Chains A and B, each alone.
Chain A
Amino acid sequence: MSSRGWPLWEVFVRARRGLAHTHVGSLHAPDAEMAVRNARDVFTRRSEGVSIWVVPAAAITASSPDEKDAFFDPAGDKVYRHPTFYEVPEGVEHL
């Protein structure tokens, strides 16, 4: 058995109810069921989570590094997109 024969899986863990699953890393596993179990052993052995997702790394479509400038630079000088141009009323919590 070699890693070349085992596909790569991306692992997402939800730390507790109410939070979103967060990407925590990747691992090799022969199939999805084993990937969930391996993720349990590798990423949640110190009680880091209550739920695990695994996704075949090959199923992820990523933005290309070559397109980085066109993708991300135009947002760099558009400060008006940040929600900072209004007064927060007195007494509003959790903002």
Chain B
Amino acid sequence: MSAAAGDAVGEVVGSAVGALSGDAAAQPDEVAAYALRLGDDALVLAQRMGEWIAAAPELEEDVALANIALDLLGQARTLLTYAGTADGRTEDELAYLRDAEGFRNVHLVERPDDGDFAYCVARLLGFSAYQVELYARLASSTDHTLAAISAKAVKEVAYHRDHATQWVLRLGDGTEESRIRMQAGLDAVWPYLAELFETDELVARLGDVAVDPAGLHEPALAYVRGVVHQATLSVPEVAVAPGGGRRGEHTDALAPLLAEMQALPRAMPGVRW
């Protein structure tokens, strides 16, 4: 991710990231595992949203989605850099040299858009609503690096949430066609939201270092439901999809995404560009 990552990310790595020291009595490898989850979510969604560059409905939207993807990539870089300090791996080694089963992202961020802008917008609404609540709380983490990363990121994801909100309102309360497509986008995304809020023993053991995602469910969903209602759309009533991303169990969509993202560093180990 080093040189190709673009202008928006270079400044965020380095200053905020210290080495894992196991402060607040948390195990360094467990803090790293937690940072890896958050970083993988951001990295995989950055890659998915990057697919929209030059393919969005308008040039202006190309730029908006690229900005959001770069924000997420910046978050991923700091989080993976921090996670890597536990066992001496770099952000690039973590991003480029793990296979799908090594990734700890939720299924929501790896599912393909298939060129469906409404799906992209619906996913961004759900994911950024989760991230706003997450980072707002994680900014008070007893782990100072996670707190610093979150304090910076919360402003970024607040804008992502606003961007998604604007589009859901316009497409939902727009034409008959846009309304049908926006509802279909929400329906397709909805089964994958629940995984974001699943808690487990790692989070419980980390205590005040981490944020229990279960506690984010109500505020995040309240925001999303509010937007859906304002857009005159319906809150989907669909079955929850099986998760497992936090355990390395992924859908078939992740491997091809990684293959594209990792192709160059794997073909030419150690390459810089």
Contacts and interface: CB of A to CB of B under 8 A. Distances in A.
Nearest to A5: B58
Interface of A is mostly: mixed
Interface stretch (B59-67, B80-88, B183-191, B212-220): B59-67
Contact of B166 (A3, A28, A37): A37
Nearest to B68: A41
Given A33-B166, A34-B166, A41-B67, A28 B7 contact: no
Contacts of A34: 166, 170
A41 B162 CA distance: 13
**Band of interface residues on B:** 10 to 19
B48 interface: no
Interface string A30-45: 1101100110011001
A27 interface: yes
Contact of B60 (A28, A31, A33, A45): A28
Contact of A41 (B7, B60, B170): B60
Interface in A20-79: 27-31, 33-34, 37-38, 41-42, 45-46
Contacts of A38: 60-61, 63-64
**Most A Cβ at <10 Å: residue of B7, B58, B67, B163:** B58
Nearest to B70: A45
B64 A41 contact: yes
Contacts of A6: 58
A45 B58 contact: no
Interface string B136-176: 00000000000000000000000000110010001000000
Which range holds the interface residue count of chain A? 10 to 19
B67 A1 contact: no
Q: Interface on chain B toward A: helix, strand, loop, or mixed SS?
A: helix
Nearest to A29: B60
A1 B57 contact: yes
A60 B64 CA distance: 26
A91 to B, nearest CB: 43
Contacts of A27: 60
Nearest to B174: A30
Contacts of A31: 170
A30 B63 CA distance: 15
B170 A46 contact: no
Contacts of A30: 170
Given A34-B166, A45-B8, A3 B58 contact: yes
A28 B67 contact: no
A29 B58 CA distance: 9
Nearest to A31: B170
Nearest to B64: A41
Given A1-B57, A27-B60, 7 more contacts: A1-B58, A29-B60, A37-B163, A38-B64, A41-B67, A45-B63, A45-B67
Interface of B: 7-8, 57-61, 63-64, 67, 162-163, 166, 170
17 contacts: A1-B57, A3-B59, A6-B58, A27-B60, A28-B60, A29-B60, A30-B170, A31-B170, A34-B170, A37-B64, A37-B166, A38-B60, A38-B61, A38-B64, A41-B63, A41-B64, A41-B67
